[in-house]
Structure 1
Amino acid sequence: MAADPPLPAARLAAVASSPVREILALTAQGDVISLAGGLPSPDTFPADEIRAAFAEALAGDGARRALQYSTTEGHPGLRAAHARRLTARGLPTAGEELLVCTGSQQALGLVCDVLLEPGDTVLVEDPTYLAALQRFGMAGAHVVGVPCDDDGLLPDALETAVREHRPKLLYTMPNFQNPSGRTLPASRRDAIARIAADLGLWILEDDPYGELRYEGSALPPIAALDDAADRTIHISSLSKVLAPGLRLGYTRMPEALRAQLIVAKQAADLHTSTIDQEAAAGAMARLDLDAHLHTVRALYGERRDALLAGLHDALPEGSTWNRPAGGMFVWARLPEGWDATQLLRAAIERGVAFVPGAPFQVGTDPDPRTLRFSFVTHTPDELAEGLRRLGAAAQR
């Protein structure tokens, strides 16, 4: 009788499947209005420009370059274009400081590969991005949640956690956070930078939504602050400004980690798809990206307002929710005694879905009353119908 093969790595036992992906699979069939997934609206994809850019990349002798292996660091023109955008947003950046990745999710994984040993502690906002929790679990890290309020991470709580747990890394989404939609004020960004400098801490600043602001003034990235400049890895993505199917993200590398991150990228996949980089660089050259983003913001802002306008009638009396200044998500809390997972079951029966908030939370006692709505994928009329269905589920 043949011997059994060895077991999978033990660290995988602590990494759960994403409930968002499971809910999306449920809602892919039938007439379900999904307020669950963090998907950009296909209405915003600049398909004509991307189509033309692919055609141009594959025309003539250019196809030889577009279909060949490439450098690990990425397409020089694409890196330069993104560096200019970061610089315009208050984070002076040269193309040589950027590493093109296969989505910002890979960027997050490369940081884990370079910085984390099994058992190292990572601090995260509580709640936080699900896929980040998965990736930290894959690295064998010990994840500790830092308490937040309506303005995000609490600096005093962060300092206490750093002194108590001696973490290697803080993971934060300062702009329109997933799942909560919260944005860190400038004073808290300054405090985080000071704590990291005083107590010795790396910061991973994840900013996929920063250009999706609908009101108010933009705030400087944490990486732009003097106390944090040498210890902040800034990652971002083209998924929310062009199209997620391109799977293109970036890491802005501090000098101290540059060589290690490039080696980690080489070991992961040699380099990100050459043809996708060529096409993205061509699309960004063809497209007035600022004008495109102005259109996207107007569309998403209208949809945010439509969702907020209907929540009062859709959720049970005593519920609360926030009003994000940008991004893709609204965070809500049901009254005492309610359970968002139970409400989800009734909601799916009526053809609408959202994501319960408990899986985004860290620790053993998540709040079962919390939930996340994504508003960008549906028109105001579709949102109104989805909320009507949700109200019927809540009344039951």
Structure 2
Amino acid sequence: MYATATVPPPAFAARTTAVAGSPVREILALTARPGVISFAGGLPAPELFDTEGLRAAYDAAFTQSAGRALQYSTTEGAPELREAVAARVTARGLRTGADDLVVTTGSQQALTLITSTLVEPGDTVLVENPTYLAALQCFALAGARVIPVPCDGEGMRPDELEEIAARERPKLLYSVPTFQNPTGRTLPGARRAAVAEIAARRGLWLVEDDPYGELRFEGAEVPWLAAHPGAEDRTALLGSFSKVMAPGLRLGWLRAPQALRRAAAVAKQAADLHTSTVDQLAAAHYLRTADLDAHIATVRAAYRERRDALLAGLGAALPEGSRWNRPEGGMFVWARLPEGHDAGALLPAALSRAVAFVPGAPFHTGTPDPRTLRLSFTTHTPAEIAEGLSRLAGAVADYSPGSA
């Protein structure tokens, strides 16, 4: 007779237990109940989706070639979608052909593929401080050593990058240079040129994440980091349709030098073989027949009005002495409370009044700044934003700064 005792299965990989879940996702779960006004999520406004145009695009994908739409596809992506993306990228100032691109399941997958391709455990990765939370998770899962590059109101400081790159010998630099998540900052052109030059001279890869670049409300366009001299042979540019078409499509793209692009395609084959064929064909049809630029203009106008409503009311909502920026586009405002305050301690008081934001601490690498918070303005009307700020003012009145 064999013993009936069982042996538990082996433990999870250490990397999965060492990486925390996303506080943003956890806050979104708390704010899902009706009546909550949430400045927490970086979500597009669903009432602005071009529902009819996308429905027609899916109908066309099935009508014109149902067999192809429901079949396996190539890893690199449907040729007609890559051609449409290449035309849009070229029109924005970076000459690109269809063969320069890989279609991905959202730009988050593009980041994961590049990380899988380039980063080995112990490699040094540089990031803006603060930076996109899911990028920190991605690099942590890869076992990277993540080093922050100090930033000011205009983003990453090239002088700090120069010093850190010389000292730490990093493999890559990750940046969201346009309307950054979480701060909404945009890196000026002169700094982009300096970053490209440093990367070329110090021999590191650049990963430029651009999900928000088309959401500019005002000010002059700034050329991509990838367009600057020195960046041509070392930049992985990540783009997405999530913020300008619909995030549920899970469609993004990767533009990279040939060798890196090929390696990323091999990593994608191991991950999911290819991105959904029907979604790619529907998106390609939409880009051929609809006016995405006109749709984006509508989205921009709505988001600008919402940003202005948020900025107009922050002074009355936040504690006296708070500071915040005025982004020229994107989805986020970054604020900092006065000395002695803690955004994480303020959050429960806000939730009790059915309003939410994201504390800024999790976006930092190293020592966090507990006084910071991220406010998204995209998913509520100006009237709802005003009501949310009134609730936030009440939460500030309830909250005791020394209670953290």
Contact 1:12 1:137 in 2 (8 A): no
**How far apart are 1:30 and its partner, in Å?**
3.1
Equivalent of 2:145, from 127, 142, 162? 142
- Equivalenced residue count is 394
**How far apart are 1:257 and its partner, in Å?**
1.0
**How far apart are 1:14 and its partner, in Å?**
2.4
Equivalent of 1:17, from 16, 21, 36? 21
RMSD after superposition: 0.8
Which residue in the other structure is 1:271 paired with?
Answer: 274
- Inter-partner Cα distance in structure 1 for 2:200 and 2:225: 12
Which residue identity does 1:199 align to in structure 2? Answer: R
- The question of 1:338 aligning with 2:338 is answered no
- Inter-partner Cα distance in structure 1 for 2:136 and 2:176: 13
Which residue in the other structure is 2:401 paired with?
Answer: none
Q: Which runs of 4+ in 1 moved over 2 A?
A: none
Which residue in the other structure is 1:329 paired with?
Answer: 332
| SS of residue paired to 1:39 | coil
| SS of residue paired to 2:161 | helix
Contact 1:75 1:277 in 2 (8 A): yes
Matches within 5 A, 1:1-396: 1-59=5-63, 62-363=65-366, 365-396=367-398
- Inter-partner Cα distance in structure 2 for 1:123 and 1:22: 26
| TM-superposition CA deviations, 1:173-198 (whole Å, max 9, x none) | 01000000000000100000000000
Which residue identity does 1:388 align to in structure 2? Answer: S
Which residue identity does 1:197 align to in structure 2? Answer: A
**How far apart are 1:331 and its partner, in Å?**
0.1
Which residue identity does 1:16 align to in structure 2? Answer: A
- Inter-partner Cα distance in structure 2 for 1:286 and 1:351: 42
Contact 2:193 2:229 in 1 (8 A): no
| SS of residue paired to 2:181 | coil
- Inter-partner Cα distance in structure 1 for 2:255 and 2:288: 21
| SS of residue paired to 1:119 | coil
Any stretches of 5+ residues in structure 2 without a counterpart? 399-404
**How far apart are 1:265 and its partner, in Å?**
1.1
- Inter-partner Cα distance in structure 1 for 2:163 and 2:20: 28
| TM-superposition CA deviations, 1:315-368 (whole Å, max 9, x none) | 0000000000000000000000001011111000001000000000000x2111
- Inter-partner Cα distance in structure 2 for 1:149 and 1:6: 46
| TM-superposition CA deviations, 1:57-97 (whole Å, max 9, x none) | 1126x100000000111011111111111111111100110
Which residue identity does 1:99 align to in structure 2? Answer: V
**How far apart are 1:131 and its partner, in Å?**
0.4
- Inter-partner Cα distance in structure 2 for 1:388 and 1:258: 49
**How far apart are 1:286 and its partner, in Å?**
2.0
| SS of residue paired to 1:171 | strand
Which residue identity does 2:222 align to in structure 1? Answer: L
Any stretches of 5+ residues in structure 1 without a counterpart? none
- Inter-partner Cα distance in structure 2 for 1:218 and 1:287: 24
| SS of residue paired to 1:203 | strand
Which residue identity does 2:96 align to in structure 1? Answer: T
- Inter-partner Cα distance in structure 2 for 1:337 and 1:226: 44
Contact 1:39 1:376 in 2 (8 A): yes
- Inter-partner Cα distance in structure 2 for 1:133 and 1:395: 34
Q: Which moved more, 1:42-51 or 1:96-105?
A: 42-51
**How far apart are 1:170 and its partner, in Å?**
0.2
- Inter-partner Cα distance in structure 2 for 1:302 and 1:241: 17
TM-score (norm 2): 0.96
**How far apart are 1:44 and its partner, in Å?**
1.7
**How far apart are 1:259 and its partner, in Å?**
1.7
Which residue identity does 1:21 align to in structure 2? Answer: R
- Inter-partner Cα distance in structure 2 for 1:301 and 1:369: 26
| SS of residue paired to 2:63 | coil
- Inter-partner Cα distance in structure 2 for 1:315 and 1:252: 41
- Inter-partner Cα distance in structure 1 for 2:164 and 2:11: 35
| TM-superposition CA deviations, 1:192-246 (whole Å, max 9, x none) | 0000000100000000000000001111101111210100000010001100000
- Inter-partner Cα distance in structure 1 for 2:292 and 2:384: 28
Contact 2:311 2:326 in 1 (8 A): yes
Between the aligned residues of both structures, percent identity stands at 65
Which residue in the other structure is 2:402 paired with?
Answer: none
